[in-house]
């Protein structure tokens, strides 16, 4: 047997609860209902029933006008209110298709989609057969019987005599215990009565070629934001982990320090956890170093996807993300600064290293405003002190990786551009400095030429100790003799001297040497419709997963989405700003909230899902309306509001289910997620 083709298979669950397969056993394949006008459609979600009202072509030569008028007269004759009529015209102008459950179990089947050499599978929720129903005949028979009984009543009423008074016996229901109640609830009669009480929910029908249908079909594609869980162990190692050797045969080993990672224990973890653990321990590493620490049979392509989730590309090397190193609830062990400020400051240091091999601590501190101890600790994670020059990045530029994975290089550049926009607003960096950096692009020693033999180093200009600040002196702590030799050799290579302070001059705006890649964007040929559909698909997945999120969280999730995009994806060749994402929120079933915020809480822009295509859409809208007048609600007020607006009984269980999706409970009140006060 020869393997001709291999593809990756992904399981998508976005539509798993609402994906129906409809069969039409009484209709041939050549006569589909695609071009037939759909008057209305409704569903029963619990029973997974579907009912369609389809218009009939009354002008067809096969349509009997006299029979159609007779049927309409029998069904709607004598009805005074036009809204109660089954047929809008004076003839039978529509037919009804209702689903019946198929004997085949839907659990054995799924819908598959092949895209970009990947198979995406979505399990079916139900398999239904659509067949015509003739309820109008029953309605005509009932009307005829009622007419006959009314005539008999009129005749007998003339000879009526007053009935004798008879005693009435009142019976009370016997109190039932738990066992009796459980049997009653499990009986077929009770289950049938519950099914009959379920209401039909009207839904909108979209043609298969509509934009909305195309957007919904994108949900068949699995989201790739989830961590990859793969178990990389050889058969012998796996057997040892299942049946460990007896303790008597092994000598007791001393416990390892907390900062030391056992390679044998590391390889028992999933691949994503292995990469995350290595990055947290070493902070900076080359891609080749990472592969050498993983299992020898690991595919480099499978490593790149989780690697981009946990690290960023700097000088061709991978540096662990700040949010991974400093979780949300963490703080500095030195100064107690919160993780938010630590992440911002560290990101700025990393961004500076993407523009130059050397940075000056004084310039860094003047921007990020962190204590000197924290700045030094963060610099030590990714650089070393070089006399005269400042702090140099830990590794040389990895040209081998960047040449081999140029698409990832371009993607990381876009990610750094987006991060810099956030950093410039947070630190209020003047735009003149950014323009000056771009004006000097191409003159930096970092990426003057991809050819290593032609790259030249620039020697910095020295300053006397009297002209140096205390911050500069702290950056010249070691290797004075070695730096003097380097200075002499650099002088022989290039007589052009540059000032020591490299923070404001001659930076490179790219993340290392770039190859010019032609994309559809260069020629203005990007398919706007495809871009819009991809954005809607991303937003719909996010709304289904989060239900409610802030603008900052939206931008963070979109950055991670860009990291997961394959080469040639429309996101990588498009300039997508925040406003474009916000404009497509409504199309994706969401809404920008105008909610109230608790005191001592910084207001932010919130988005929430209001349309999920189920029976709770109206309740979602009503729930979010309550937060326009108050920043917290009680479940009793929510339930009363639902019952007043819907004119129907709403259980407390239903209210609590919706509240848990969008809110957090504190002290008997429910707050919208992302709005809790700091002292809650």
- Of all residues in the chain, the percent with pLDDT exceeding 70 is 77
- Residue 507: pLDDT over 70: no
- Mean pLDDT score, 334-355: 90
pLDDT at position 556 is 85
- Predicted confidence band of residue 434 (pLDDT cuts 50, 70, 90): low
pLDDT at position 130 is 92
C-alpha 599: how far from chain center:
30
The 10s digit of each residue's pLDDT in 388-401 is: 889 999 999 999 99
- Residue 79: pLDDT over 60: yes
- Predicted confidence band of residue 154 (pLDDT cuts 50, 70, 90): low
- Mean pLDDT score, 334-360: 90
- Predicted confidence band of residue 5 (pLDDT cuts 50, 70, 90): confident
Work out the burial of residue 293: count CB atoms within 10 Å of its CB; fewer than 13 is exposed, 13-18 middle, 19 or more buried.
middle
State the chain's mean pLDDT as an integer. 78
Q: Can you give 525-588 as a three-state secondary structure string?
A: CCCHHHHHHHHHHHHHHHHHHHCEEEHHHHHHHHHHHHHHCCCCCCCCCCCCCHHHHHHCCCCC
Lowest pLDDT segment from 42-51, 425-434, 441-450, 607-616: 441-450
The 10s digit of each residue's pLDDT in 120-148 is: 999 999 999 999 998 877 777 777 777 67
Lowest pLDDT segment from 64-78, 161-175, 231-245: 231-245
Beta partners for 10?
Answer: 120
Q: If you count them, how many residues does the chain have? A: 680
Rounded Cα distance between 372 and 470, Å, is 12
- Residue 622: pLDDT over 50: yes
Dihedral in degrees, nearest 10, Cα atoms 470, 476, 481, 483: -120
- Mean pLDDT score, 148-152: 68
pLDDT at position 516 is 39
- Mean pLDDT score, 516-533: 56
Beta partners for 128?
Answer: 22, 101
- Mean pLDDT score, 375-392: 91
pLDDT at position 286 is 94
Q: Which residue has the higher pLDDT, 12 or 480?
A: 12
- Mean pLDDT score, 436-440: 48
Lowest pLDDT segment from 162-166, 360-364, 465-469, 546-550: 465-469
The 10s digit of each residue's pLDDT in 94-114 is: 999 999 888 788 888 999 999
b (16+ CB within 10 A) / e for 408-442: bbbbbbbbbebbbeebbeeeeeeeeeeeebeeeee
pLDDT at position 433 is 62
pLDDT at position 512 is 46
β-strands 20-23, 126-133: how paired? Answer: parallel
Rounded Cα distance between 549 and 546, Å, is 7
pLDDT at position 513 is 44
- Residue 490: pLDDT over 50: no
> In the chain, where are the structural domains located?
8-57+64-147+181-220, 235-245+259-451, 528-672
Lowest pLDDT segment from 94-98, 125-129, 165-169, 248-252: 248-252
- Residue 316: pLDDT over 90: yes
Rounded Cα distance between 553 and 225, Å, is 14
Q: Contact, 664 vs 547, CB < 8 A?
A: no
Phi, psi of 597 (to 5 degrees): -115, 140
pLDDT at position 224 is 62
Q: Contact, 72 vs 92, CB < 8 A?
A: yes
Alpha helices in 627-673 (DSSP H): 635-646, 652-662
pLDDT at position 155 is 57
Rounded Cα distance between 679 and 292, Å, is 47
Q: Can you give 376-413 as a three-state secondary structure string?
A: HHHHHHHEEEECCCEEEECCCCCHHHHHHCHHHHHHHH
- Predicted confidence band of residue 510 (pLDDT cuts 50, 70, 90): very low
pLDDT at position 307 is 92
- Mean pLDDT score, 268-296: 89
- Residue 459: pLDDT over 50: no
Lowest pLDDT segment from 378-382, 556-560, 622-626, 670-674: 556-560
């Amino acid at each position: 047997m020869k393997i001709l083709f291999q593809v990756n298979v992904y399981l998508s669950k976005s539509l798993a609860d609402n994906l129906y397969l409809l069969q039409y056993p009484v209709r041939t394949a050549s006569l589909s209902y695609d071009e037939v006008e759909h008057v209305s459609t409704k569903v029963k979600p619990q029973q997974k029933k579907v009912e369609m009202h389809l218009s009939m072509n009354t002008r067809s030569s096969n349509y009997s006008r006299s029979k159609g008028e007779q049927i309409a007269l029998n069904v709607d004759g004598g009805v005074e209110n036009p809204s109660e009529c089954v047929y809008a015209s004076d003839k039978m102008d529509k037919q009804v298709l209702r689903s019946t459950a198929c004997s085949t179990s839907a659990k054995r089947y799924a819908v598959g989609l092949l895209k970009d050499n990947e198979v995406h599978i979505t399990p079916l929720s139900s398999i239904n057969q659509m067949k015509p129903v003739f309820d109008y005949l029953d309605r005509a028979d009932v009307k005829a019987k009622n007419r006959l009984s009314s005539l008999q009543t009129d005749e007998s009423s003339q000879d009526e005599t007053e009935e004798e008074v008879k005693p009435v016996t009142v019976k009370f229901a016997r109190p039932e215990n738990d066992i009796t109640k459980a049997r009653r609830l499990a009986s077929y009669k009770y289950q049938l009565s519950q099914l009959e009480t379920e209401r039909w929910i009207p839904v909108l029908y979209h043609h298969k070629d509509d934009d909305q249908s195309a957007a919904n079909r994108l949900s068949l594609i699995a989201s790739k934001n989830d961590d990859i869980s793969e178990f990389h162990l050889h058969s012998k190692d796996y057997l040892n982990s299942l049946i460990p050797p007896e303790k008597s045969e092994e000598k007791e080993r001393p416990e390892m320090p907390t900062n030391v990672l056992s390679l044998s224990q590391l390889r028992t973890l999933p691949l994503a956890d292995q990469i995350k653990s290595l990055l947290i321990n070493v902070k900076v590493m080359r891609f080749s170093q990472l592969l050498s620490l993983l299992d020898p049979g690991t595919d480099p392509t499978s490593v790149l996807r989780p690697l981009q989730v946990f690290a960023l590309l700097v000088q061709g090397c991978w540096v662990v993300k700040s949010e991974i190193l400093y979780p949300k609830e963490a703080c500095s062990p030195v100064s107690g600064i919160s993780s938010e400020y630590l992440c911002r400051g560290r990101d700025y240091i990393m961004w500076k290293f993407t523009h130059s091999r050397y940075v000056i601590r004084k310039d860094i501190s003047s921007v990020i405003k962190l204590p000197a101890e924290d700045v030094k600790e963060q610099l030590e994670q990714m650089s070393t002190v070089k006399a005269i020059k400042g702090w140099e990045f830990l590794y040389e530029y990895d040209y081998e990786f960047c040449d081999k994975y140029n698409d990832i290089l371009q993607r990381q550049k876009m990610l750094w551009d987006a991060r810099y926009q956030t950093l410039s607003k947070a630190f209020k960096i003047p735009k003149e400095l950014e323009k000056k950096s771009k004006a000097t692009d191409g003159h930096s020693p970092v990426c003057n030429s991809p050819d290593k033999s032609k790259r030249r180093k620039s020697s910095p200009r020295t300053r006397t100790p009297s002209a140096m600040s205390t911050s500069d002196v702290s950056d010249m702590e070691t290797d004075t003799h070695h730096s003097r030799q380097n200075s002499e050799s650099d002088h022989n290579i290039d007589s052009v001297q540059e000032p020591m302070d490299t923070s404001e001059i001659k930076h490179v705006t790219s993340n290392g040497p770039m190859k010019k890649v032609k994309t559809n964007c260069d020629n203005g040929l990007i398919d706007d419709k495809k871009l819009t559909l991809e954005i809607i698909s991303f937003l719909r997945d996010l709304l289904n997963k989060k239900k409610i999120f802030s603008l900052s969280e939206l931008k963070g999730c979109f950055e991670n989405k860009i990291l997961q995009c394959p080469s040639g994806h429309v996101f990588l060749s498009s300039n997508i700003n925040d406003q474009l994402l916000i404009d497509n929120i409504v199309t994706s079933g969401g809404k920008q909230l105008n909610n109230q915020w608790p005191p001592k809480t910084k207001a932010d822009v919130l988005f929430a899902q209001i349309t999920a295509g189920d029976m709770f859409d109206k309740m979602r809208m009503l729930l979010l309306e309550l937060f326009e007048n108050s920043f917290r609600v009680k479940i009793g007020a929510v339930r009363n509001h639902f019952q007043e607006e819907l004119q129907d009984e709403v259980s407390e269980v239903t209210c609590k289910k919706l509240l848990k999706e969008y809110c957090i409970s504190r002290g008997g009140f429910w707050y919208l997620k992302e709005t809790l006060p700091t002292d809650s």
